[in-house]
Structure 1
Amino acid sequence: MSSKWMIIGISGVTCGGKTTLTQRLAQHFTDCVTMDQDQYFRLEEDPNHEWVDVSPGVRHQNWESMASMDWQAMTNAINDIIAKEPPKSSDYPALLIVDGFLIFNYKPISDVFYKKFFITIDKDECLRRRTERAYLPPDPNGYFESWVWPMYLKNRHLMNDCQNDVPIEYLDGSLDKDIIFETVLENINQLLSQQTKL
């Protein structure tokens, strides 16, 4: 791992606030690059998708599964970024902040993080937030109950098998967004300060 970059992972439940938090951090830190896992979803017609029966006569790609992602492309993109000279305006390492709901489930990516945050919300709040979003392709009726939430619980359990000695810090996504931001900001600032003393 490049000593010129500090890679931060922000994961968690769908609609938990990962991208909002990542964007706020990027606005705060001058030397910061962000990456969104959503940019590496496979195309709808990709034959590598897993298809699931949502209801009688309704089949849908399982966008919650590991197979929905082009992990090699995302890994290559991370490696391309940290191989380059980072933006530099301070003595601190530059930040690469990666957000995505499965990034701690793919070990080659999970292992690169200097710090890991995982945002949680309960099922009812998750459903409320998800129904306020527009997805392409849209969620079929029953997809949340049958696949989104059960896969979240499954992936969260399996995530533990992919971890190294960098612990995951869990964040309550129902808290005020400013509180979550300040908590993560303070944590990252401490890490950056420690790095400059090494």
Structure 2
Amino acid sequence: MSEPAHPQASHRDHPVWALLSRYTIGPEDAALGFARRLARENGWSLDHAGRVIEEYKRFAFLAVTGTRDVTPSDPVDQAWHLHLTYSRDYWERFCPQVLGRALHHGPTLGGEGERHRHFAQYADTLKRYEAEFGPPPADIWPPAAHLLLEAPHLRRVDLRGRLIVPRSLAWAAVAAVALLAILLVSMIVLEAKG
């Protein structure tokens, strides 16, 4: 019985991958280290944040070893954004000493053409990822169709001081608030007459 085909293992022998594999983001003695901060800021478990950091390293590898631009998944992008805030580590250690070159993060220019470019580039990134590392974990790297179907509707919300009501319960929540308002007004009117 033959063994299943595996993707090329070229990344394992690449000097950039060797450096990425040993690299830790930020100061190792920090009370709130990078993984904990990433987990806290995104509402993830520490285990999930650790997995996202490993995927971020894979993304960085693809970005600096390929000839075409790559696009991160949303979780990987969150790791990248946070890493950029560790500016000394990012620009003085990560880029020159680990990646061997600068890795800039540019925001989208917006518009329909940019949306299509982003979709095509993300789909291409997934193909390149699979060729290099095998199938990407779907919870961190969703299929490209996700960008077209779900991502345009996603918004980052600071949950502190907010109550999030699922759309399926929105009318019930509005009705409950309206009923409560009517009861309060009725009580005030009755007390005033009373």
Q: TM-score, normalised by structure 2?
A: 0.28
More helix by share: 2
Q: TM-score, normalised by structure 1?
A: 0.28
More strand by share: 1
Q: Which has the larger radius of gyration?
A: 2
